[in-house]
Amino acid sequence: MAGARHRLGPGRIVLVAAGKAASGMARAAEQILGGALSEALAVDPSERIPLVRTRRLLAGHPVPDEAGRRAADEVEALARGLGADDLLVLLLSGGASALLPAPVDGLTLEDKARTTTALLRAGATIRELNAVRKHLSRLKGGGLARVAAPARVACLALSDVVGDDPSTIASGPVVPDPTTYGEALDVLGRRGVADTVPAAVRRHLEAGARGERAETPKPGDAVFARVAYAVVGSNRLSLAAAAAEARRRGLRPLVLTSRLEGEAREAARVLVAVLRECVEADRPVPPPVCLLAGGETTVTVRGAGRGGRNQELALAAVEPLADFPGPAVVASLATDGIDGHSDAAGGVADVASLARARALGLPAPSVFLDENDSRSFLGPLGDLILTGPTGTNVMDLTALVAGAPTRRSRAPLL
């Protein structure tokens, strides 16, 4: 487990699963460990998957809530009661950071929720968000490992972060934290929310930067001596599966990246430009082609509309696709089935989207982009991807498919 063998002695085996895939992972662990489990908790935003031996605690996501705070307290108490002979099996998936809020002394759950909301609206990356949250929490940034020591810990994680960095997945509760209080303060300043977050949050981070608060455990700390960690699912694996399916359907797949980041609308224009190069110049792959990109873009919220980063990416692709030289479609979705503040997982755009929108009397895509209102454009066209919560999260997947050109101004091959 987690790449290591764990001898079962007189100690207990305790299971904690947290995240959008918590119940699914816990159910698999129940089937494998069976009666060997002494106690099991799953902290999940949904109860759609039945559990037998595991007690499920429902909590809020993406903004932490009181149910999550109570769940975090239970997880902390369970870990604190472990001894050297015990084994904590920790199953992490996307969303665990929000589902296990454990504010440090002096801060409230509302303080953390307001800080999270401000950073999300400012377009903070998950790394930036977690750098702040780790320093406002008792469990994140290696805090759970500190509490569980000297017990053994085996952690299996589904990665929902670019690059699969263990210190970022679920805010790294059982791995060293390379970030500092000073870096957390820098994030607030860089994202322009230093005066927006609660004053208590600023005071806490400033005190930490002055050395008046204990730092999160760093590499080499003894609390990690008995921790084994493995990433068992990721965006890269999803991209590989998508590429295999595209090939089975007669397309030429090309995985561009598993590290797609930046503003969603800018990423859309770049991706469509690469697709156009495939059609007009047969490079980097000739049609029929399926370009694949994974990662997690961001949206700097300036309007009051509904949508998410994947829907905004699809909306931003509408105009570049309108004069495309052949059949083409762009689809982008959140693998957890929840894209931003909407009921959709993502959206689709094709070469006819702009014409169909005009036929319905919809304003130009730029009007909806200005209001971050991608759902109101894609919805009337029937171009939303609706899956409901999927019970997992390995970031976002974007697929761009194009066939042979119907009109071509072929660029000379060099």
- The CATH number assigned to the domain holding 114 equals 3.40.50.10180
pLDDT of residue 341: 84
What value does the mean pLDDT of the chain take?
A: 94
Total count of domains within the chain: 2
Domain with residue 310: its CATH number is 3.40.1480.10
Confidence class for position 326, pLDDT limits 50, 70, 90? very high
Q: Which of these three, 233, 255, 273, is where a domain ends?
A: 233
Identify whether 410 is part of a domain. no
Asked if residue 314 lies in contact with residue 331, where contact means CB atoms within 8 angstroms, the answer is yes
- For residue 163, pLDDT beyond 90: no
Residue-wise pLDDT for 241-295, tens only, equals 999 999 999 999 999 999 999 999 999 999 999 999 999 999 999 999 999 999 9
Average pLDDT over residues 177-195: 96
The reply to whether 413 falls in a domain is no
In angstroms, the CA 345 to CA 388 distance is 7
Span 350-357, average pLDDT = 98
Q: Are residues 75 and 56 in the same domain?
A: yes
Tokens of 357: 């929108």
Predicted local distance difference test score (pLDDT) of residue 139: 97
Confidence (pLDDT) at 389: 87
What is the side-by-side strand order in the sheet with 87-92?
55-58, 37-44, 13-18, 87-92, 152-158, 227-233
Range of the domain at 353: 235-402
Residue 7: predicted pLDDT: 67
Predicted confidence (pLDDT) per residue in 60-101, tens digit: 987 789 999 999 999 999 999 999 999 999 999 988 988 999
Q: If you write DSSP's letter for every residue of 200-266 in order, what string do you get?
A: HHHHHHHHHHTT-SPPPP-TT-GGGTTEEEEEEE-HHHHHHHHHHHHHHTT-EEEEEEEEE-SBHHH
Give me the mean pLDDT over the 170-177 stretch.
Answer: 95
Residues 55-59 have a mean pLDDT of 97
Examine the domain organization and report whether 66 and 158 are in the same domain.
yes
Query: 47: Cβ–Cβ under 8 A, 6 or more apart, which residues?
Result: 23, 56, 58
Of 233, 262, 284, the one marking the end of a domain is: 233
- For a pLDDT cut of 70, what percent of the chain falls above it? 96
Q: Strand (E) positions, 146-195?
A: 152-158
Q: Look at residue 8 in the predicted model and tell me its pLDDT.
A: 67
Whether residue 349 contacts residue 329, with contact meaning beta carbons closer than 8 Å, is answered with: yes
**pLDDT for residue 395 is more than 70:** yes
214 and 243 assigned to the same domain = no
Q: What pLDDT digit, counting tens, does each position of 26-51 carry?
A: 999 999 999 999 999 999 998 989 99
Last residue of a domain, one of 202, 233, 264: 233
Taking residues 12-27, report their average pLDDT. 96
What is the average pLDDT across 114-119? 91
Q: Decide which of 7 and 110 is more confident.
A: 110
**Cα separation values, 369 from 178, 274, 363, 372, 377, Å:** 36, 22, 11, 5, 9
pLDDT at 387: 95
